[in-house]
């Protein structure tokens, strides 16, 4: 297996008034291709900061970060935008779809920024919506969709550019338990297809789907557990139900 993510001594500090908040105090982390990782920890543990750094939304104060073999800690804003566009697929707790746009337009948005021609964008967005089971909801706006369907649109948008990692921040935080289970089964299926997935969550039920649980406390990794039991609780099949 090849490395997708490697961080060495990753630190993030920021000023909050007169105080310096040390959100991350040296994180060393290696995530291989096709891993399924849950990042856990109480609020204030630094897991959001770590997610922002992994997702190239932010740059570390110090330390190194290689994404897909390339150092990305000290990139320009434009280069980071390109990496976010090509290598990272974000899934948010609040879905973050454009409210006035159709499912199709939401899904093709990353391809617009990638500079693809309209026709190709359309084709790929249609195919991706089909893959997440929303082939019949192309022209619906988010308001016309259920929470689970919205999150599926968001997942389709995250995957449209074949990112190296799918980065989900509390992806089921706004969903009921049945729908949450549906979404997690979709994640399981994507993982089986070879997708590298990182889920940030504070819910053990969600983390259980992952094959590896990383726990953060006070800006450092306090536990890193690989488990085989996850596969037992999430049997294969019917993932896109």
For residues 74 to 113, the per-residue mask of contacts with another protein, x marking binding by CB under 8 A and - elsewhere, is ---xx--xx-xxx---x-x---xxx-xx-------xx-xx
Least separation, in Å, of the C-beta of 48 and another protein? 9
For residue 188, the SS3 value is helix
Q: Is residue 55 within 8 Å of 167, Cβ to Cβ?
A: yes
- Cα 148 from chain centroid (whole Å): 16
For residues 12 to 51, the per-residue mask of contacts with another protein, x marking binding by CB under 8 A and - elsewhere, is ----------------------------------------
| Cα distance from N-terminal residue to C-terminal residue, the chain | 30
Spell out the alpha helix ranges (H) of the chain: 47-54, 77-87, 103-114, 118-131, 147-159, 177-192, 204-207, 229-233
- Quick one: 157 or 191, whose CB is closer to another protein? 157
For residues 128 to 157, the per-residue mask of contacts with another protein, x marking binding by CB under 8 A and - elsewhere, is -----------------------------x
Q: Is residue 65 within 8 Å of 24, Cβ to Cβ?
A: no
- Quick one: 100 or 229, whose CB is closer to another protein? 100
> Binders of another protein: how many residues, by CB under 8 A?
27
Please list, residue by residue across 130-147, b when 16 or more beta carbons sit within 10 angstroms of its beta carbon and e when fewer do: ebbbbeebbebbbeebeb
Least separation, in Å, of the C-beta of 83 and another protein? 8
Q: Which residues bind another protein (CB under 8 A)?
A: 52, 55, 57-58, 77-78, 81-82, 84-86, 90, 92, 96-98, 100-101, 109-110, 112-115, 157-158, 161
């Amino acid at each position: 297996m090849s490395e997708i993510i490697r961080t060495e001594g990753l630190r993030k500090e920021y000023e909050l008034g007169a105080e310096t908040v040390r959100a991350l105090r040296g994180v060393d982390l290696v995530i291989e291709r096709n891993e399924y990782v849950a990042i856990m920890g109480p609020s204030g543990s630094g897991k959001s900061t770590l997610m922002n750094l992994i997702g190239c939304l932010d740059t570390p104060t110090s330390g190194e970060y290689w994404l897909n073999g390339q150092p990305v800690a000290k990139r320009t804003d434009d280069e980071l935008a390109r990496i976010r566009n090509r290598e990272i697929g974000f899934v948010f707790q609040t879905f973050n779809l454009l409210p006035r746009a159709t499912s199709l337009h939401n899904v093709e948005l990353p391809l617009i920024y990638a500079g693809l021609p309209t026709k190709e964008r359309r084709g790929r967005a249609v195919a991706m919506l089909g893959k997440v089971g929303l082939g019949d909801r192309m022209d619906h706006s988010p308001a016309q969709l259920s929470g689970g369907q919205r999150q599926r649109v968001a997942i389709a948008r995250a995957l449209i550019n074949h990112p190296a990692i799918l980065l989900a921040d509390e992806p089921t935080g706004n969903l009921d338990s049945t729908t949450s289970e549906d979404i997690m089964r979709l994640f399981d299926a994507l993982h089986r297809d070879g997708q590298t997935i990182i889920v940030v969550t504070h819910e053990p039920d969600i983390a259980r789907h992952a094959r590896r649980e990383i726990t953060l406390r006070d800006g450092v990794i306090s536990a890193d557990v690989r488990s085989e039991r996850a596969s037992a609780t999430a049997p294969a099949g019917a993932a896109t139900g």
